Copies of this chain bind each other. A is one copy, B any other.
Amino acid sequence: MSLGDLLFGKPLATYEDSEQRLGALSGIGVFGLDALSSAAYGPEAALTLLIPLGALGIHYVVPISFGIIALLVIVFISYRQTIAAYPGGGGSYTVARENLGTKAALLAAAALIVDYILVVAVGISAGVGALVSAVPSLQPHTLAICLGILAAVALVNLRGVRETGNVFMVPTYAFIVCLLGAIGLGLVKAFLSGGHPTPVIPPNPFKSAATTAGAWVLLQAFSSGCTAMTGVEAVSNGVRAFREPAVESARRTLTAIIGILILMLGGIAWLARAYQVGASEPGQPGYQSLLSQLVAAVSGNGVFYYLTMGSVVVVLALSANTAFSDFPRLCQIVAGDGYLPHAFSSRGRRLVFSHGIYVLTFLAALLLIVFGGVTDRLIPLFAVGAFLAFTLSQAGMVVHWKRLGGRGAWQSMFINGLGATATAVTLVVVLAAKFLEGAWVTVLLVPSLLILMFAVRRHYDTVARELQLDTPLDLTHLKPPIVIIPIQSWNKIAQKGLRFALNLSIDVHVLQVKIGDQSEDLRGSWCHLVERPVQELGLPVPRLTVVESPYRLVFAPILDFVTGLARKHPDRYLAVLIPEMVEGHWYHYFLHNQRAAVLKALLLVKGNRQINVVNVPWYLAE
């Protein structure tokens, strides 16, 4: 078993694709971690903005959460429809492309691409941040742990979709069971105590109110809480990863993810109010996450607390996996339309789109390294991309239904229209609220990416136009090429080159570049060594040219000679035949000049359409 097999698994044949598909259950681990893990920070993000309201803030958490859940349901319905309407996958990009045009589609794609890169860095960083605050001795290794997790997630994804589903099933279900268990326990206790349960461990006390609730504060809290919705689009991008019937499986996975997420969001909001748990100021001494306070209030500081919080940390760190599932698929679909490099559409040894995984890993690692593994400052950035994609996707669905017409179309149009409006409003609020905090970076990045994608497409179009050929092989003006061999001295390599040249053409030029007085002049022995044997066979004699190079340049005289011949015979192909010794060992590299390699490169870069290069290798017997 080779190292590659051990690391990445045995190569899979293309026809094994169907065996690699996901079922509805393992789909949750592959596509659901981003959405589900946001239960751990969405409600907290909303409550953090309500801190200035003091104890009053806690009363708004339930209505705000219900607003978020309502929006979530609309977006869910929309993506459920998208899955059925576009079973080829591509989610927002495909919907927008089919209904709103290329520019809107690329806008959605660019937004999601930026979003996914951020999600990987922020998710891993958040998980490691929680781990480090629990085990402070790990603090100095923050970046190393982040990069280690990134590498592990990338590796698992490179091993194929099915393996990814299997690997991530365990932490996903542990998280779901623990968190829903805690919420259930809390609900039971609250119910038994008549709605006023006594916390096992009392949460942080509220500060006195500094302000009263205004519309802008509530809107900001709502838009911050909406970060809980990122990741909802994931399944619709990857419909083709599911086992047949793919649409059915994908929809079941999406329904399960959203159902669980709604339970979590609703439960957390209701319990926060029942147990009077508010957010505490992040970065301040005594900070404790909302979930940590809540679980401690419900169940105390026992084993269950540590199990639950541990699963939260793991799921946060692994939420990057959703991006790893979607980013390569999205890039593949965009690359298929010619707006990203073709490499994104080629499948690796395990049938995944490896180049997407490489690029995502590289960019996320870069972000982590630049920010030293602490990416708090990136959090404002990453809801922007998702909500831009949501809005475009739902707007696209409105057009889709309008075009399709028929029964129930108006109803669907209304739902999607409502969703589009709501997500658009949220997008504007997020942008306005977080613009100076960093959302402006996204506003710069997305258009840049857009411009890049158009440039890529333009280049591919140019190339395709230039290369396109529908007519049969043109055989006019076929003439044997003029062959040129640079030779330094008479030896077996030179003989092999000359023999090969005589095979190719009757028009052979031999060029000797004389540097100082180091090399013998071939003119003296040419008649005896070459001319006579060739004449005896009645073949045309190769012409020898000896060029002096007073400045000891080797390549310039050869290039001059070749381009000179090319100008003299504009209707002929030229073949520069380069005899080259192939080193048996890498360390012999230093013992011979690399003139053949340099000459080949120079001829390619400085050459023209007439000039071709023939490489005649010589292998040492040793």
User: Which of A480, A498, A575, A612 has the most CB atoms of chain B within a 10 A radius of its CB?
Assistant: A612
Stretch in A211-219, A274-282, A560-568, A601-609 touching the partner? A601-609
Q: Chain B nearest CB: distance from A442 CB in Å?
A: 23
Taking A550-B15, A614-B613, A615-B604 as contacts, is the C-beta distance between A621 and B590 under 8 angstroms? no
- The quantity of this chain's copies bound in the complex is 2
In the complex, the answer to whether B473 meets A529 with C-beta atoms within 8 Å is yes
Residue A604 contacts which of B478, B582, B588, B605 (CB distance < 8 angstroms)? B582
Say if the beta carbon of A403 comes within 8 Å of chain B. Answer: no
A495-B478 CB under 8 A given contacts A459-B591, A591-B342, A620-B466:
no
- The complex places the Cα of A341 from the Cα of B611 at a distance, in Å, of 33
Task: Judge whether A555 is part of the interface by a CB distance below 8 angstroms.
Answer: no
Over the window 434-461 of chain A, the binary record of Cβ atoms lying under 8 Å from chain B Cβ atoms (1 yes, 0 no) is 0000000000000000000000100110
The answer to whether A132 has its CB under 8 Å from any CB of chain B is: no
* Contact assessment for A604 and B617 in the assembled complex, using a CB-CB cutoff below 8 Å: yes
Neighbouring B residues of A456 by C-beta, 8 Å: 591
Q: Could you say which residues of chain B place their CB within 8 Å of the CB of A534?
A: 473, 475
Q: From A173-181, A393-401, A485-493, give the one contacting chain B.
A: A485-493
A493 to B13, CA, bound (A): 29
* Residues from chain B with Cβ under 8 Å of A70 in the complex: none
Report the separation of the CA atoms of residues A588 and B458 in the bound assembly, to the nearest whole angstrom: 12
Minimum CB distance partner of A609 in chain B: B619
Question: Looking at the complex, which one of B469, B503, B552, B609 makes contact with A478 (CB distance below 8 Å)?
Answer: B503
- Proximity bits, A376-420, B CB within 8 Å = 1, else 0: 000000000000000000000000000000000000000000000
Check A491 against B516 for contact (C-beta < 8 Å).
no
Residues of chain B with a CB closer than 8 A to A529's CB = 472-473
Contact A472 B530 (CB under 8 A): yes
* A468 proximal to B (CB < 8 A): yes
Given contacts A466-B620, A473-B499, A475-B502, contact A349 B605 (CB under 8 A): no
Q: Which residue of B580, B592, B614 is within 8 Å of A342 (Cβ)?
A: B592
In angstroms, Cα B139 to Cα A387, docked, is: 56
A504 touches B481 (CB 8 A): yes
B-facing mask of A538-577, CB < 8 A → 1, else 0?
0100000000001110000000000000000000010100
How far apart sit A617 and B603, CA to CA, in the bound complex (Å)? 10
Nearest CB on B from A353, distance (A): 12
Partner of A591, one of B460, B481, B588, B590: B460
Q: Does A138 contact B (CB under 8 A)?
A: no
Complex: A478 Cα to B608 Cα, angstroms:
30
Q: Is A19 an interface residue (CB 8 A)?
A: no
Q: CB-nearest residue of chain B relative to A614?
A: B614
A462 within 8 Å of B by Cβ?
Answer: yes
**What CA separation (Å) do A480 and B501 show in the bound complex?**
10
The yes or no answer to A8 lying at the interface (CB within 8 A) is no
A493 contact set on B, CB distance < 8 A: 467
Report the nearest B residue to A11, measured CB to CB.
B551
In the complex, whether A537 has a CB less than 8 A from a CB of chain B is yes
Residues of chain B contacted by A472 (CB below 8 angstroms): 528-530, 532-533
Which B residues lie within 8 Å of A607 (CB)?
A: 582, 617, 619
Q: How far is the CA of A91 from the CA of B495 in the complex (A)?
A: 40
Is A347's beta carbon under 8 Å from chain B? yes
Please state if B590 and A341 are interface contacts (CB–CB under 8 Å): yes
Q: Quote the shortest CB–CB distance from A337 to chain B (angstroms).
A: 14
| Cβ-defined contact, B468 with A495, below 8 A | no
Q: Indicate whether A2 reaches chain B with its CB closer than 8 angstroms.
A: no
Q: What are 14 A-B interface contacts by the 8 Å CB criterion?
A: A13-B550, A14-B515, A14-B552, A341-B591, A343-B593, A460-B591, A463-B592, A466-B492, A468-B492, A469-B494, A472-B530, A473-B498, A604-B615, A607-B617
| 4 extra A-B contacts, CB within 8 A, seeds A607-B617, A612-B614 | A14-B515, A14-B552, A15-B550, A467-B492
> Which residue numbers of A lie inside 8 Å of B, CB to CB?
11-15, 341-343, 346-347, 349, 456, 459-460, 462-463, 466-469, 472-475, 478-481, 490-496, 498-500, 502-505, 515-517, 528-530, 532-534, 537, 539, 550-552, 573, 575, 580-582, 588, 590-593, 600, 604-605, 607-609, 611-622
